[in-house]
Amino acid sequence: MSTPIIKVENLVKRYRELVALDHFNLEIAEGEIFGLLGPNGSGKTTTINCILSLLSYDKGTIHVFGKEMHPDSYDLKRRIGVVMQNVAVFEELTVYENIDYFCGLYIRDKTLRRQYVEEAIDFVGLHEFRKFYPKKLSGGLLRRLNIACGIAHKPKLLFLDEPTVAVDPQSRNKILEGIQELNKQGVTIVYTSHYMEEVEQICTRIAIMDKGKNLAIGTKEELKRMIKKSEIISIEILDISEEAIAALKNLPHIYEVTFENRQLQVLCSGGRHNLLRVLNCLQSMDLSFGRVYSELPSLNDVFLEITGKELRD
């Protein structure tokens, strides 16, 4: 790997007795769409704020673009865009004026800024809303305005924190397509979301963190190989005896069998031809069944197995 665009080493952040980041390490390569996942309170937002030097920390080093990051590293910050979860625009400014204001924080040349603002408006598809005030925009349009404000100055590194929360499917699709297009244009993206299907769809690598630590990192395929569950077999069946369930549990590579609402679910760990063995077992017991599904684990399965299923605040 060449010099990473972000390198976090041995990062510790405490809030009095609470350890928010516990010797946290992370490397992100240039050109990635990097997914940063974790339950509520896992340390994601603290990590981002430390990388951006918006928070002080107790120990460790942070390098961005190969240079150590400090609160006054304005040469680095000019190359970074940030779109946080809460929409942050000015209600008294129009769509155009909002984008122009945020772009103006980085781009002083008026002609160039005008060009950048127009390109940002076109990119997020807000041309017909350019004179609208934020209170007149739908949730999806507000999200797109928020993104336009964060990308208008053409950053090389972009942080996106839950950019699709509470938007309709059409707006979500537009936002995801825009993120992938930005990446094709050379922007490295750090992406956080609780929508696992989005992360699985667009991210090149993913880190799962909890309790201030990096628990797992890799491509979605690499992460799926880290967990016990390798195949999920679902079968529609009217009824099944405890003896038949016990027989299924005794098959190789099967570690859990459940039956509820006429749905038999068999979880497998490794092995090949698991589906064939399960069906042969059912047929040998003269059991009739309906539709059969076999699927690989999802990123959501990986997340729950690594971080646990208990509810978080």
- Name 272's Cβ contacts closer than 8 Å, sequence gap at least 6: none
Answer yes or no: is pLDDT of 186 > 90. Answer: yes
pLDDT-derived band of residue 313, with 50, 70 and 90 as boundaries? low
pLDDT-derived band of residue 310, with 50, 70 and 90 as boundaries? confident
Question: What value does the mean pLDDT take over residues 247-276?
Answer: 96
Q: Count of alpha carbons within 13 Å of 133, Cβ hemisphere only?
A: 5
Report the alpha-carbon distance of residue 80 to residue 95 in Å, rounded. Answer: 21
For the chain, domains (ranges, CATH) are 6-224 (3.40.50.300), 231-296 (3.30.70.100)
Give per-residue pLDDT as tens, 217-256: 999 999 999 999 999 999 999 999 999 999 999 999 999 9
Q: Count of alpha carbons within 13 Å of 33, Cβ hemisphere only?
A: 23
Instruction: Please give the helix or strand (H or E) that residue 258 lies within, else none.
Output: strand 254-260
Whole-prediction pTM value? 0.89
Report the alpha-carbon distance of residue 301 to residue 306 in Å, rounded. Answer: 9
Q: Count of alpha carbons within 13 Å of 171, Cβ hemisphere only?
A: 18
Cα–Cα distances (Å) from 18 to 12, 24, 48, 75, 125, in that order, read 11, 15, 18, 33, 43
Give the helix, strand, coil percentages of the chain, each rounded to 5. 35, 25, 40
The rounded mean pLDDT for the chain is 94
Answer yes or no: is pLDDT of 86 > 90. Answer: no
Please give the single-letter amino acid code of residue 184: K
Is residue 288 within 8 Å of residue 237, measured between CB atoms? yes
